Amino acid sequence: MEPHVEVKGLRVTAGGKDDSAITIVEGVDFTIPRGGVLALIGESGSGKTTIALTLMGYARSGCRIAGGSIRLGDTDIRALDEEGLAALRGDRVAYIAQSAAASFNPSKRIMDQVVEPALIHGRMDRKSAEAKAISLFRALALPQPDSIGSRYPHQLSGGQLQRLMAAMALITGPELVILDEPTTALDVTTQIEVLRAFKHAVASQGATAIYVSHDLAVVAQMADQILVLNKGRIREAGAATQILQSPADDYTRTLMAAARPAPKPAPVAAPTKAPLLEIKGLFAGYGKVDSGGRPEIPVLRDISLSIAKGATLGVIGESGSGKSTLARVVAGLIRPASGSVNFAGARLPGGLEQRSRDQFRRIQLVFQNADTALNPAHSVADILGRPLRFYHGLKGAAQQKRVAELLDLIRLPANLADRACSGLSGGQKQRINLARALAAKPDLILCDEVTSALDTVVGAAILDLLADLRRELGLAYMFISHDIGTVRAICDDIMVLYGGMAVEMGPRSAYQAPPFHPYTDLLVGSVPELRAGWLEEQATRPPPPAIGPALEGADLCRFLPRCSARIDGLCTHFTPPRRHLPGGSDILCHHPEVVN
Partner 1 sequence: MSAASPATGQSGTTFLLTLIVRRLASGLLTLFLVALVVFIVSGLLPGDAAQEMLGQSATPEAVAALRQQMGLDQPASIRFVRWLAGLLGGDPGFSMVANMPVADIIASRLPNSLILAGLSTLVAVPMALTIGIASALRQGGRLDRALNTATLSMVAVPEFLIATIAVLIFAVELRWLPSIALVPASGTFLDLLRALAMPVLSLSVIVVAQMARMTRAAIIAQLGLPYVEMARLKGVAPARLVLVHVLPNAIAPIVNAMALSLSYLLGGAVIVETIFNYPGLASLMVNAVTSRDMPLLQACAMIFCGAYLLLVLVADIVAILANPRLRNR
Cβ proximity to partner 1: between 24 and 96 the closer is: 96
Give the C-alpha separation, 573 to 567, whole Å: 10
The vertex-370 CA angle with 367 and 376, nearest 5°, equals 130
Segment 539-544 long-range contacts (CB within 8 Å, at least 24 positions apart): 540/196
Determine whether 536 is exposed, middle or buried from the number of CB atoms within 10 Å of its CB (0-12, 13-18, 19+): exposed
Minimum distance of partner 1 from residue 105's CB (angstroms): 5
DSSP state of 420: B
Residue 496: beta bridge partners?
316, 504
Q: What 3-state DSSP class applies to 283?
A: strand
Residue length, the chain?
596
Nearer to partner 1, 122 or 549 (CB): 122
Closer by beta carbon to partner 1, 185 or else 222? 185
Residue 478 phi/psi, 5-degree rounding, is: -105, 110
Q: Name which of 95 and 498 has its Cβ closer to partner 1.
A: 95
Task: Look up residue 296 and give its amino acid.
Answer: E
The DSSP result for 488-502, as a single string, is: HHH-SEEEEEETTEE
| Least CB distance to partner 1 at residue 152 (A) | 4
Torsions phi, psi for 193 (to 5 deg): -65, -40
Nearer to partner 1, 94 or 556 (CB): 94
Q: How far is CA 521 from CA 509, 565, 592, in A?
A: 15, 11, 15
Nearer residue to partner 1 within complex by CB, 208 or 221: 208
Taking the complex as a whole, the smallest distance from the CB of residue 52 to partner 1 amounts, in Å, to 11
Q: How far is the CB of 86 from partner 1 (least distance, A)?
A: 5
Nearest approach, Cβ of residue 574 and partner 1 (Å): 34
Q: Which residue from 534, 588, 558, 545 is spatially nearest to 196, judged by alpha carbons? A: 534
CB nearer to partner 1: give 58 or 516. Answer: 58
Nearer to partner 1 by Cβ, of 19 and 146: the residue is 146
Sequence letter at residue 209:
A
Distance CA 99, CA 182 (A): 7
What are the beta bridge partners of residue 305?
279
Is 99 or 205 the residue whose CB approaches partner 1 more closely?
99
C-alpha distances (whole Å) from 423 to each of 71, 374, 377, 418 are 38, 12, 10, 11
Are 333 and 299 spatial neighbours (Cβ–Cβ below 8 Å)?
A: no
Bridge-partner residues for 340, per DSSP? 280
**Closer by beta carbon to partner 1, 53 or else 370:** 53
Burial class (CB in 10 A: 0-12, 13-18, 19+), 491: buried
Report the residue number, 202 or 463, with the smaller CB distance to partner 1: 202
Q: How far apart are CA 460 and CA 255, in angstroms?
A: 10
**Cα–Cα dist 28/133, whole Å:** 36
Cα dihedral: 588, 593, 595, 596 (round 10): 130
Neighbours of 377 (CB within 10 A): 9
Question: Closest approach of Cβ 58 to partner 1, in Å?
Answer: 6
The terminus-to-terminus CA distance of the chain in angstroms comes to 47
Q: How far is the CB of 109 from partner 1 (least distance, A)?
A: 7
CA distance 48 to 10: 12
CB distance 277 to 310 below 8 Å: no
Smallest separation, CB 115 to partner 1 (Å): 9
Distance CA 64, CA 58 (A): 8
Nearer to partner 1 by Cβ, of 178 and 337: the residue is 178
One-letter amino acid identity for 337?
Answer: A
Minimum distance from residue 90 beta carbon to partner 1 (Å): 4
Residue 122 C-beta: closest distance to partner 1, Å: 11
* Cβ at position 151, least distance to partner 1 in Å: 8
Q: Is 147 helix (H, G, I), strand (E, B) or coil?
A: coil
Distance of closest approach, residue 128 Cβ to partner 1, in angstroms: 14
Q: Which is closer to partner 1, CB of 52 or CB of 363?
A: 52
Q: Which of 222, 229, 154 is nearest to 194 (CA)?
A: 222
Treating both helix axes as pointing N-terminal to C-terminal, what angle do 380-392 and 426-439 enclose, rounded to 10 degrees? 10
Radius of gyration over every alpha carbon of the chain, rounded to an integer in angstroms: 26
Contacting residues toward partner 1, per CB under 8 A: 53, 56, 58, 60, 85-91, 94-95, 97, 99, 102-109, 111-112, 116-117, 120-121, 130, 147, 149-150, 152, 154-155, 168
CB nearer to partner 1: pick between 97 and 140: 97
Least Cβ distance, residue 91 to partner 1 (angstroms): 6
Nearer to partner 1, 92 or 429 (CB): 92
Q: Coil, strand or helix: which one is 71? A: strand
